[in-house]
Structure 1
C-alpha cells in the first residue's frame, strides 16, 4: 500500500485549489498580448473555436495558456458537448486509464487527479477502464475549473473568409449574430468535415428502418426486433450490445471479413517519437503507414465483444458481405454472400467520411481547400485517405491554387481528418494535449509575426525603469583626473 492509499479523498474543492496553485507556479495563463482590435464596434476575437468537446476544450486551454483570447461555440447544451453523453454507447473508454488526455502537462488536470480527489487512490488501483459517462463528468469539470469561455446552443450557419479575419454567422436564441475572429479552429469531432458513411444499399430502404451507429437512435424501440448490425469495429459491438440490452429478439453482426481484427497495429507506433515526428515524414511514408492501418483495421475492445457474446441470441456472421437490400412487406430482406437474411432493423456501424455537402457552413472552405488526393494517390494506397485535407504546419487549410483564397489559412482543422497531415493528435485521447499545444504555438506565432510592428512599437514606448540612477555615484571626466 502506498502512502496515499487509505487516506480520505481530498475532494474537488481541494483539487480546484491545487489546480489554481499549479497554474500559478507555471505563471499560467499568460497575460493577453495580442493588440485588441474592434470591427464595427465589436471586439475582434483572437481565436473562435467551433466545438467544445474534448478537442475543443484542450485547444481552448492551450490557447488561453499562451495568452490568446479564445471562445468556444457549441451547438449542444452545456454538459452535452461531444459524443460521450449523447450518441456514444460504449460502457467504458477504450483508452488505458493512465493516459493524460487534455491535461496539457498539468498533473492536477488529469483524469486520475480528478478521480482520486473524489474516490481515493485505492479505488483508482481497482479501476480497470474509465466509465464513459464519468469521462464526460471529468470534461465538465475541466471546462469549469479552467473557466473556459464556452457559448452553448450556438449553431454555426456560415464561415466567411477574409484576408484579415473570418466572420462567423451563428444562430443562437432564435437570432442570427455575427462574430469576427482572426483565426478559427474547427474542433468538430471524428466526423468534423462530413458525416457517417452508409453503404449504398441503405438507399433502397425506408429511412425509419435503419440507422447509423452515430445517430441518436432510440434503442428501446428495438425490443422484440430482429436487428442486423453491419460491421465488426468498436461501434458495431457497442451498438449490438445496446440493442441486446434493450431486449432485441436477436442481433446478427454482418461482418465482411472472415475474421475480426485481433491486433491494433497503430498502437505499436503510439509513442512520443511518432507523435513528434510523424508530421515531418515524407508523403510516401504517410501514405504507407495510414494505408496499412486502414487495411489492418483496429480491433474492437475485448470487453465490448464479450458484452455481445454473452447473449445467446447474438450471432457473429463472419465472411458475410452485403449485396442488396429491399423491403418485402414489413420485413427487410438482405441478400448477402452467405444467403438471404430477414430483419426488422439495420444499424450501419460503418464509420465516417469527408462529405463537405453535409457541412454547409464549410462551403467557402470546401470550394478551395487542397486535399491529399491533389498530391496524387499512390497505386497501392487506401483511396479513402485522399479525401482528407492537406494541412499546413498550423493545421491550417491550404488552397488548391496558391493565393486563390485569401484567409483560408486562418481556419485550422483540429479534428480527426487532420490525421493524414499531422497524425492522431487532434481526435483521440492519447495525444490530444500534444496537438493542442502544437496548434496554440503555431497560431500564437502567426499572430505575433502579423503584428510585429505593433509589438516593436510597444517595446519602443515601454517606459518602466528597472534602475533609477541613484544606485551609484557617477564621476564625470571633468570632475576627476584619470588614474595613470
Structure 2
C-alpha cells in the first residue's frame, strides 16, 4: 500500500521543474501564437472551443489546443476547484491501476509527466521505491498541471442545456453556484464554435442500476459513483453487486469503515484473470484502431467486453484479507424486497438479509437519458443505426455508442437534420468504439487529445478559409526593399561587344 511521502524540496524542486518546462516550451516556440479570427455576437466574444469537463481529459485537450494556437477556450466543470474527475470523489482505490511510468496527459513534454513532478519533490530514490501512484497524489499532480499551464477552468458550473443556433454556433446554458452563497444558482449563456464533451467514464449516459433497484427505497442502496457515507455502515451488513475493480474498492472501504459483514454478488461463475487489451497495447493499436472497418472495431471491443477486465490483485486482496468478507460467484440478483429495516436479496444460491446495497454495475451510454443533451440526442447517429453485428456479437452497450467521425464529432442520423453536430466532439468513454481507448484512460490520453486538437484546428481553419485568404492577399510586410540589386537589362546605356562571324 502506498502512502503519500512528504516532499523533501517542495518549492525549490517544483520551481526548477517549472523553469525547465518554460524553457522547453520556449525552445519549441510553444504555445503557438493565436491565429483563429475572433468572432463576436452582440458585442460578446464567441469561444473558439468550450470544453465540458475539467478533469484529466479536458485538461489535456485544453493544453494541446493552446499549443496549437487556439487560445480562446474555457473549461466548465460542476465540481469545485481541485475536485474534478473521480480521483477524490467516487474513486475508492488506494492507488492507480496504471503502471507508474505511463506518461498520461504530458503531451510528450518530459517536464509535464507525473514522474518529473514527483522526482522534483521527492527525489529519484523515492521514485524508484514507488510501487504505484497514490490516488490522491495523482489528483495533486493534475492540480499542478492545471496551474502550471494556466488552463482556464470555470468551476462550480454545470451545463444545463446545449442549444444549436441558426448561425451554426452552439449556446451553452450554464448554471453556476454563487461563490458567496452556494445555494444560489446563477444562470448564464455562452456561445462557442466547437464543444468538447470531456465527461469521463460517465460519458453521455450515467450510472447503470439493474431493474431490481426499482423495488427499493433510495435510502437502502447507492451506485458506486454516488457519495456514500461509509461511516454510517459501521456494524451494518453490506452487499456489493458486481465483480469489477470498483466493486472490490467499495467493498474494501465498507470493510475498513467497520461493516459487520460484506457480501459480494457476482454474476459470473468464474472471475476474469487476464486483461486482454493489455496484451496488444501498442502505438499500432492507439493509432490504427480508428481506421479499422466497422466489423473489426466491433469485434475487438465485443471480445474485450465479453472477456472482461479483472480487478487488480491488490484490490482483491484488500477485500479477502477480511474474514467477514464473502464472495459469491454465479450469483446474479433475482429479486430484492424490503422487510422492515432490512433488505432480503434473492440469488440462485439462496436468500441473504442485509442493511445496505451498493451497485458497482458500471455506466450506460444512452444519451437520451441526459436532459442537457435533449436537443441533440434525437439527431445523433449510434452504432446500432448503421451496423448490425448479428446475434452472436450482439451488445446493447456497444450499439448505444455514438458513431463518431475522425474528429471525434457526432454524425447525423438523418442527413441535414442538425449539421452543427459536426462541431460537438465526444471525448469520453463513449468514444471507445469509434476511436479506441484514447479518450479517458491514462495510457493514451495524450494521443487522443492531440488527435482531437489537430482535428479542431483543421476545422477552424477550413471554416475561416475566406478570412485567411483575405489575410494572405492583404499581407504586405516586405522582406526585400528593392535596393538590394540592379537589373542589368534596365540600364539606359548598355555597351555590347561586337559580334563577328567567320565566312
Q: Is TM-score (shorter-chain normalized) higher than 0.5?
A: yes
Residue matched to 2:461: 448
Q: 1:427 and 1:307 mapped to 2: Cα distance?
A: 26
Query: If the length of structure 1 is used for normalisation, what is the TM-score?
Result: 0.96
Q: 2:397 and 2:52 mapped to 1: Cα distance?
A: 25
Work out the number of aligned pairs and report it. Answer: 478
Question: In the alignment, does 2:433 pair up with 1:420?
Answer: yes
Give 1:8 deviation, angstroms. Answer: 6.9
Give 1:482 deviation, angstroms. Answer: 5.6
Describe how 1:231-270 pairs up with structure 2 within 5 A: 231-270=242-281
Kindly indicate whether the alpha-carbon contact (under 8 Å) linking 1:308 and 1:314 is maintained by their aligned counterparts in 2. Answer: yes
Q: 2:367 and 2:455 mapped to 1: Cα distance?
A: 26
Q: 2:454 and 2:367 mapped to 1: Cα distance?
A: 28
Q: 1:320 and 1:278 mapped to 2: Cα distance?
A: 35
What do residues 240-292 of structure 1 show as CA deviations (whole Å, max 9, x unaligned)?
01000000001111111111110000111211001000011001111111110
Kindly indicate whether the alpha-carbon contact (under 8 Å) linking 2:207 and 2:225 is maintained by their aligned counterparts in 1. Answer: yes
Describe how 1:256-335 pairs up with structure 2 within 5 A: 256-335=267-346
| Distance of aligned partners of 1:115 and 1:479 in 2 relative to their CA distance in 1, 3 Å threshold | farther
Which of 91, 94, 97 is residue 94 of structure 2 equivalent to?
A: 91
Question: In the alignment, does 2:61 pair up with 1:59?
Answer: yes
Residue matched to 2:403: 390
Residue matched to 1:129: 132
What do residues 323-342 of structure 1 show as CA deviations (whole Å, max 9, x unaligned)?
00001121100110111111
Residue matched to 2:4: none
Residue matched to 1:48: 50
Kindly indicate whether the alpha-carbon contact (under 8 Å) linking 1:321 and 1:338 is maintained by their aligned counterparts in 2. Answer: no
Residue matched to 2:485: 472
Matched residue SS, 2:144: helix
Kindly indicate whether the alpha-carbon contact (under 8 Å) linking 2:222 and 2:358 is maintained by their aligned counterparts in 1. Answer: yes
Gaps of 5+ in 2: 1-7, 179-184
Gaps of 5+ in 1: 1-6
Give 1:176 deviation, angstroms. Answer: 1.3
Q: 1:134 and 1:359 mapped to 2: Cα distance?
A: 32
Kindly indicate whether the alpha-carbon contact (under 8 Å) linking 1:161 and 1:406 is maintained by their aligned counterparts in 2. Answer: no
| Distance of aligned partners of 1:207 and 1:14 in 2 relative to their CA distance in 1, 3 Å threshold | same
Q: 2:468 and 2:116 mapped to 1: Cα distance?
A: 39
Residue matched to 1:3: none
| Distance of aligned partners of 1:479 and 1:209 in 2 relative to their CA distance in 1, 3 Å threshold | farther
Give 1:15 deviation, angstroms. Answer: 0.8
Kindly indicate whether the alpha-carbon contact (under 8 Å) linking 1:204 and 1:326 is maintained by their aligned counterparts in 2. Answer: yes
| Distance of aligned partners of 1:420 and 1:482 in 2 relative to their CA distance in 1, 3 Å threshold | farther
Q: 1:372 and 1:102 mapped to 2: Cα distance?
A: 28
Give 1:477 deviation, angstroms. Answer: 4.4
Residue matched to 1:38: 40
Describe how 1:156-235 pairs up with structure 2 within 5 A: 156-162=159-165, 163-172=167-176, 173=178, 174-235=185-246
Kindly indicate whether the alpha-carbon contact (under 8 Å) linking 2:59 and 2:146 is maintained by their aligned counterparts in 1. Answer: yes
Which of 447, 457, 463 is residue 434 of structure 1 equivalent to?
A: 447
Q: 1:178 and 1:274 mapped to 2: Cα distance?
A: 40
Deviates more, 1:89-98 or 1:313-322: 313-322
What do residues 114-146 of structure 1 show as CA deviations (whole Å, max 9, x unaligned)?
000000111000111100000000000000000
Matched residue SS, 2:105: coil
What do residues 286-330 of structure 1 show as CA deviations (whole Å, max 9, x unaligned)?
111111011000000111111111111111111112100001121
Give 1:414 deviation, angstroms. Answer: 0.5
Matched residue SS, 2:81: coil
Matched residue SS, 1:341: strand
Matched residue SS, 1:190: helix
Q: 2:423 and 2:267 mapped to 1: Cα distance?
A: 42
Q: 2:132 and 2:425 mapped to 1: Cα distance?
A: 32
Which of 22, 25, 30 is residue 24 of structure 2 equivalent to?
A: 22
Which of 82, 85, 90 is residue 85 of structure 2 equivalent to?
A: 82
Give 1:357 deviation, angstroms. Answer: 4.4
Which of 143, 146, 150 is residue 149 of structure 2 equivalent to?
A: 146
Q: 2:146 and 2:163 mapped to 1: Cα distance?
A: 28
Kindly indicate whether the alpha-carbon contact (under 8 Å) linking 1:79 and 1:140 is maintained by their aligned counterparts in 2. Answer: yes
Q: 2:66 and 2:495 mapped to 1: Cα distance?
A: 58
Kindly indicate whether the alpha-carbon contact (under 8 Å) linking 2:368 and 2:378 is maintained by their aligned counterparts in 1. Answer: no
Matched residue SS, 1:440: helix
Kindly indicate whether the alpha-carbon contact (under 8 Å) linking 2:160 and 2:174 is maintained by their aligned counterparts in 1. Answer: yes
Matched residue SS, 1:407: helix
CA RMSD of aligned residues (A): 1.4
Give 1:472 deviation, angstroms. Answer: 2.9
Matched residue SS, 2:378: helix
What do residues 161-186 of structure 1 show as CA deviations (whole Å, max 9, x unaligned)?
13521011111233211110100000
Q: 1:117 and 1:148 mapped to 2: Cα distance?
A: 22
What do residues 139-165 of structure 1 show as CA deviations (whole Å, max 9, x unaligned)?
000000001111111111111113521
| Distance of aligned partners of 1:220 and 1:482 in 2 relative to their CA distance in 1, 3 Å threshold | farther
Q: 1:425 and 1:282 mapped to 2: Cα distance?
A: 18
Kindly indicate whether the alpha-carbon contact (under 8 Å) linking 1:392 and 1:398 is maintained by their aligned counterparts in 2. Answer: yes
Kindly indicate whether the alpha-carbon contact (under 8 Å) linking 2:13 and 2:120 is maintained by their aligned counterparts in 1. Answer: yes
Query: If the length of structure 2 is used for normalisation, what is the TM-score?
Result: 0.93
